[in-house]
Amino acid sequence: MERCDTLLTAARLPDGRRDMRIAIRAGRIAAILPPGADAPEATQTYDLQGDLVLPGLTDGHMHLDKTLFGLPWTPHAAEPFRMSRIETDQRLLPSLPLSTVERAGALIRRCVAHGTAHIRSHADITPAFGLSALEGVLSARAAYAHAVTVQIVAFPQAGIMRAPGTAELLDAAMRAGADLVGGIDPCEVDRDPKGQLDTIFALAERHGTGIDIHLHEPGEMGLFSLQEICARTRAHGMQGKVTISHGFCLGGISESKQQAAAALMAECGVALVSHGAGGATLPPLMLLRQAGVQVFCGNDDVRDTWSPYGTGDMLERAAIIGWRVDLRTDPLLGELFDMIGPAGARALGQEPAALLPGAPAHLFTLPAETIPEAIGQHPPRRLIFFAGRLVARDGAFLG
């Protein structure tokens, strides 16, 4: 048998098999071997002592540019409404003693140490910041490319139509290396849904990219915006390339309208990413999945200028979402794991990790027996591999 780079022994798999061995070669799983089978020689071997092995996680919604990780504890400074938070960002972020790349790097290290392999981060593109936030996140992405993928959304946090010059900045951000065009509350923030949506879809079409649009708008207002997003997705032939972040409106309408909206999103190939916000109505995630909508999850704000909460742990985030949605059975918790793992990777255009020969060796280990226990208890991670390389151990990023 051909020599491998890494051999994991005494592994527990999610399907219940124990004392398995996982051979890794050239960044991929080369073989999964049962007890008693011949194993290849390996450059390095790790005895997992019965720990569960799981495929790497996906954080589908994050704001690396806003995080306060790396700094001493910083009290929350904004008032409890969105425009105050935007104004606080403009005042506070430029005065911080650590740069965007330093703070983003501190959070990336934490995410990787929790088993995250893929991140989608928004970077503020506003007249106040120009491209500075994007440049910091781009630098952090380059610095940690060996340990995680980072997909970046050019995010018009302060709006587009109400902030002259933002459309031109978004265009420049796409040329500078952003991966997707962002948007935010076309009715509530810009008060010009046609203007904002025409702008971002034209930009996405020009640059051949997708769209991820924050939609916090409640009830019927949000439903109107969602329907307009779906209509433009279909008209521009962008099925599978558009994501609605949050979609709180879906939790505040009748069940019949939820079902109709879910069918429309599935038909138009519009995905939804949720972080299980505690202060807002939650979209019917399982109804959406059953209708064929691509649903995935993210942490959103992680100890940053918008929220003092969060650790960057997607298993902990899944526990919060599962608790809010009342997912209790093992099969439902298995679906939830898909939303923080393979489904998220697919939504980000990444090849999903899996415990199968030939799959990318983005793996992590932890002391648990099953996926439901891993979510419910989210114990500390022990070994984290990205493309077969050990990148973190016992909560510490290895550099």
- For strands 57-62 and 52-55, give the pairing: unpaired
> Strand, coil or helix: what is 289?
helix
**pLDDT for the residue 135:** 98
- For strands 52-55 and 4-11, give the pairing: unpaired
Going by C-alpha positions, the residue among 65, 58, 23, 62 that lies closest to residue 43 is: 23
Q: Which helix (H) or strand (E) holds 54?
A: strand 52-55
Q: Which two tokens stand for residue 272?
A: 């939804």
Cα torsion angle, 283, 289, 295, 296, sign: positive
**pLDDT for the residue 247:** 98
**pLDDT for the residue 246:** 98
CA dist 321 and 60 (Å) reads 14
**pLDDT for the residue 106:** 98
Residue ranges for the chain with pLDDT beneath 70: none
Q: Which helix (H) or strand (E) holds 148?
A: none
Q: Which two tokens stand for residue 220?
A: 């019927």
Q: How many other C-beta atoms lie within 10 A of the C-beta of residue 90?
A: 16
Going by C-alpha positions, the residue among 193, 184, 114 that lies closest to residue 154 is: 184
**pLDDT for the residue 293:** 98
Eight-state DSSP code of residue 304: B
| pLDDT digit string, tens, across residues 4-55 | 999 999 999 999 999 999 999 999 999 999 999 999 999 999 999 999 999 9
**pLDDT for the residue 280:** 86
